[in-house]
Structure 1
Amino acid sequence: MKFAYDIPDSFWSLFRSMNRELYMEALLKINEEYEYNNYYLSKEVCLQVLEDWNESQRIWLSPEEFESENDASQTPPNRILNWLIKTGWLKRIEDFSTLTTNIIIPDYAAVFLTAFEELVNPSTDDTEIYIQNVYATLFSFWHDKKMNLAMLKTALINTKKLNKALQDMLHNMDHFFSRLLKQKSYEEVLAEHLEGYVEEIVEKKYHILKTNDNFYLYKNDIKRCLREMREDIPWMEQVQKKADKEKGEDVLSIINAIERGFDDIEHRISNMDKEHSKYIRATVTRMNYMLNGESDTRGLMIQLLKTIGDSKDSEEKIEKVGQSMNLSHFEVLSEKSLYKKRKRRDFASQVEEEKQQEELSREDVLRLNKIHTRYQQAEIEDFIESYMQDDHMEVKDIDIRDEESFEKLILAYDYSTRRNSKYKVVERDDKLIDNGSYRYPALTFVRRKPKS
């Protein structure tokens, strides 16, 4: 393998050291001060940064394999700085003119420090930045007369980066599922969901795909721009001629690769939606189990099987349990079955026999075709007026014996509820009148006063 830099063999010992996390954190502290001081630090400043960090955290280092007794007897800041210089993560340069020792970070170490920084503080707005970059770069390339092919390549690179960011989000879901299962109480599950998943995934990453500044805001415009590029044959020939003069790359293949990348992005977003729904369902199920784990039949069964599985003499416990209950049956610990076998039904049993309808008599046909609204408004008003005394009509004073009177009473009540009605119901008694033939409430109809 060819490397751009000569990396010393001792450089890789950081990843085998028991103190690797402390060394990585120390490098990030030094790098932060290193960037602030224009990438040049004296040894005294490095030690001061490490001493301030040691005071806030109280560092304890395990002994290294090739560490001398003199190095092991020094303070933690000195031990860390000497070890990082010795392994090649930091480099010491002597300035004899000022009699000072300067500390620099080699180029190969700076590459790893960028990776450490990304692991500690991952980018939260990758999806938003990349989709906007693709959008702006493509439209600039499409409308720019210079037609710089590097802009089209930049759009392809950002499309691949966006795919990578979404794929990382999808792969990290397993991490949250495992953390969810490690919680032992309802409060811990709720805290893990709100402080872990919601803060790290939903608020920082997932919501970017669903808000106004999202993938779907730019997708259609970008695809339309790619389609117009492909269909404009004279423009494509002109761009291809320019590309042949530079590096001889196929412009159409780059455009197709960008379009395929957007199809992959849409597919990954769909998978992310599915994983998000799975996690929400798993969280709710876990909370329900925490609340009802001791009383629910399934919870008791899970506790029993977990106890048997964790014990050393699991076979002996299985025999004792088997003496009290039959674990091969589905009815365990409760009269209610954990699983109810569904009965298989054939199609013929589900089809009901067609019932033959009997022929209707002349009276039945007339009764079914009876028009219930055969009374006109004038007839209903005459019915009310016939029983009206002093602008009042008391239903309890009327003897309803036939079907015609009963229907007119119902239609009179319906008519009184309308705005253009001459009458209204002012009093409704909960007491029902039962005359042996019909039952109806004791209503009071009054004449409406004309509006001035």
Structure 2
Amino acid sequence: MQLISNVPDSFWGLFRTKNRILYIEVLMNLNEEYQYNNYFISWDVCVQVISNFFHVRIINLEDEDQESDIDKTQPPATRTLNLLIKMGWLKKLEDYSQGITNIVIPDYSAVMIDAFERLYNENDDEAEVYIRNVYASVFSYMNDSRGDISFLNNAMQNTRILNKSLQNMLHNMNRFFSNLLDQEFYGNLLAEHLNVYVEEVVKKKYHILKTSDNFYLYKNDIKSWLRGIEERTSEKVFTLDNSDENRLLLDRYTKELNLVQEISRGFDEIERRIFFMDKEHTKYVRATVTRLNYLINEDRDTKGLIIQFLNYVSSENCSNAADTLRDAASFVHLTNMEIMSSRRFYKKRKTKSDFTAQLEPDTEIQQDLTKEEILRMNRTHNKYSKMQIEEFIESGIKGDRFEVTDNTVQSDIDFEKLILAYDYSIRRNSRFEVIEEGQEIETERYRYPKITFRRKQVGA
């Protein structure tokens, strides 16, 4: 008979009551005492256990629909015990010979209490135990002549449980990412990472499965034994014909091959899930570092200030988001587009002859500038300010232009300013433009091109 058929309807009422967390903890305390008392305890001991549990914490029992007015006037421990019995989580067993009322935990209730204990106290070494169980089961079946197929069934069940454990770890990573984004202060984020993620995942689970190489310590041996079992069984199947007397053997060998293949697929899934855990772990560490940097520099970093502004606009404190964005746009060019370069990004690949020509030594050797020449060029370029160069051009303008003649340069200072004026005028942000005449002017001491300076037109 299925165990669920024994569950009364009132049993599920525990999950709808407001006191369910308190009742669950009471059941776990009673179950712990229940195991140390030969699996039955008296009514008085139950009341004492519940009273001790209530004594160390502040409780607030809400009224239940199943309770009468008389039940509500009883002490909290007795009231809780009566309600759990009425719901069917506990049962009374009268011992008339000794005049004692014993309390027992039904089988279906024990299954649920075990589930509660797993939710409250997760077994940290569970992954290590399961992989060793697989190792021991496959080894026994491979080397024990009396080995039964139940060894492979046990190995398959443990492989499934290990896969599910890894899958739960993978799914729970979303919770850690959510907690990461909820932290608004540097200290809280660091405490969340060190006290929660490192303690619960890295040290207890991730470290056991990956860092200590527990899975990989047994994987190769298990997979080699599975291949040996598969080859040995396949040979037996090949030698048997499909007669009635061999039907039982064929069914046994077919089931054996199916179990071996399923365990092998399970190991492939374990490796795949560990790979995904590696990726999620790397993503979490990277996200933690990024979040820490943001919390440290959010008041000084441009991105941090932009995020604060966008959070403010989307919050309830911002009465008019459109006006706020419009005011911000008047100070910051949020949609400004800048052209990095007019040249194309793709550069055509040169031919082989051009490449070999670059390797040939130049016949014409250019002389390097001396130290004095470099210093003189730097001094010339930095000797005059932009205002002085503009004044030089303005002083020579007649009408709307400044034509350079043989009388323009009378000294070294004029020659240097003319050179810097030409360099300034060919720039895009200059107020002037230069027109080259294609001729040269040569005096006793200087030689320079014949050029004309002109003011740029507005909008040009």
Does structure 2 conserve the Cα–Cα contact (< 8 Å) formed by 1:91 and 1:105? Answer: yes
The alpha-carbon deviation at position 317 of structure 1 amounts to 3.0
1:250 equivalenced with 2:255 (yes/no): yes
Query: Counterparts of 2:239 and 2:100 in 1: how far apart (Å)?
Result: 57
Residue number in structure 2 paired with 1:288: 293
1:303 paired residue number:
308
Match of 1:21 in 2: 21
**Long gaps (5+) in structure 1:** 332-336, 365-452
1:317 corresponds in structure 2 to: 321
Equivalence for 2:413 = none
* 1:204 alignment counterpart: 204
- 1:361 & 1:186 partners in 2: Cα distance? 61
CA contact (8 A) 2:312 2:318 kept: no
Aligned 1:137-286 pairs, distance under 5 A: 137-212=137-212, 214-232=214-232, 236-237=236-237, 244=249, 250-286=255-291
AA paired with 1:294?
D
Q: Which moved more, 1:244-253 or 1:276-285?
A: 244-253
Distance 1:116 1:99 in 2: 33
What's the offset of the Cα at 1:243? 6.2
Partner amino acid, structure 2, of 1:323: D
Paired letter, 2:19: N
Deviation at 1:204, TM superposition (A): 0.6
Deviation of the 1:132 alpha carbon = 1.2
Helix, strand or coil at the partner of 1:39: coil
When residues 47 and 243 of structure 1 are mapped into structure 2, their CA distance, relative to the original with a 3 A threshold, is farther
Q: Does 1:92 align with 2:96?
A: no
Q: 1:345: Cα distance to partner?
A: 8.2
The answer for the alignment partner of 2:108 in structure 1 is 108
TM-score of the two chains, using structure 1 as the length reference: 0.71
Change (3 A) 1:221 1:345: farther
CA distance in 1: counterparts of 2:144 and 2:239, whole angstroms:
11
Query: For the residues of structure 1 that align with 2:360 and 2:215, how far apart are their CA atoms?
Result: 66
Partner of 1:83: 83
Are residues 69 and 328 of structure 1, via their aligned partners in 2, closer, same or farther at CA, if it must alter by over 3 Å?
A: farther
Post-superposition CA distance 1:61-114 (Å, at most 9, x none) = 122233222222222212211111111111111222212111111111101001
Report if the CA contact (8 A) 2:47-2:81 is conserved: yes
Gap change, CA 1:342 and 1:55, over 3 Å in 2: farther
Q: State the one-letter code of the partner of 1:62.
A: E
Pairs aligned (count): 357
On the 8 A contact 2:3/2:108 being kept in 1, the answer is no
Secondary structure of the residue aligned to 2:92 is strand
Q: CA distance change for structure 1 residues 360 and 163 in 2, over 3 Å: closer, same or farther?
A: closer
Shift in alpha-carbon separation, 1:278–1:342, aligned structure 2, 3 A: farther
Q: How many angstroms apart in 1 are the aligned matches of 2:76 and 2:173?
A: 38
- Counterpart AA for 2:299: E
For residues 26 and 350 of structure 1, do their structure 2 counterparts lie closer, same or farther at Cα, with a shift above 3 Å needed?
farther
